[in-house]
Amino acid sequence: MKKILILCTGNSCRSQMAHGYLARFLIGEAEVYSAGVETHGVNPRAIKVMAEDGIDISHHTSNNVNEYLQIDFDLILTVCDNAKENCPYIPGKAKRIHHTFPDPAKAKGTEEEILNEFRKTRDLIKEYCNALAETI
């Protein structure tokens, strides 16, 4: 079974969404982990918009990448530039890929406007993860 690590800055939104989708798309084929170069807690808006699409990430935790340095990953996916630039060295044979997504946690406006930014990012991540899963 393949081991996949998804990294972003705070392991609160983008990596959590990607974790949810890849775990769904690769069920039985991969163990999916997510982490951040920092930990900010799982964003309640990320939980909400993922639930709207039938994915429950409410049980996820925000983890620091250093917790996973001993795992021999097959794939490491960074989903923001900050994580790509600040990720510690992770030994092993892992293929590394990078795709940056907008950070919905930086959205401003009414609650509905902010949720719409989360939905846009969610949909971009879903599309990307679906295509990625087909290549794994």
CB 79 within 8 A of CB 102: no
Residues in Cβ contact with 103 at an 8 Å cutoff, skipping those fewer than 6 apart: 9, 13, 14, 80, 121
Closest of 58, 69, 67, 64 to residue 20, by C-alpha = 58
Reading the block at residue 112, the tokens are 């509905």
List the catalytic residue out of 80, 83, 105, 115.
Answer: 80
What does the mean pLDDT of the chain come to? 93
Please state the pTM of the whole predicted model. 0.94
CB 7 within 8 A of CB 83: yes
**Residue tagged 């969610």 (tokens):** 122
List the catalytic residue out of 49, 77, 87, 90.
Answer: 87
Please check whether the domain covering 2-135 is classified as CATH 3.40.50.150: no
Compute the average pLDDT of residues 110-129.
98
Q: Is 13 part of the annotated catalytic residue set?
A: no
List pLDDT tens digits, range 51-109.
999 999 999 999 999 999 899 999 999 998 776 666 666 778 899 999 999 999 999 99
The beta strands (E) that lie in the chain are given as: 2-8, 30-36, 75-78, 95-98
Query: Measured between alpha carbons, how far is residue 91 from residues 31, 38, 50, 95, 115 in Å?
Result: 18, 19, 32, 11, 37
List the catalytic residue out of 6, 8, 17, 26.
Answer: 8
Compute the average pLDDT of residues 45-51.
98
Q: Is 8 part of the annotated catalytic residue set?
A: yes
Domain positions in the chain are 2-135
Residue 49: per-residue pLDDT: 98
Q: Is 129 part of the annotated catalytic residue set?
A: no
Residue 136: per-residue pLDDT: 85
Residue 105: per-residue pLDDT: 93
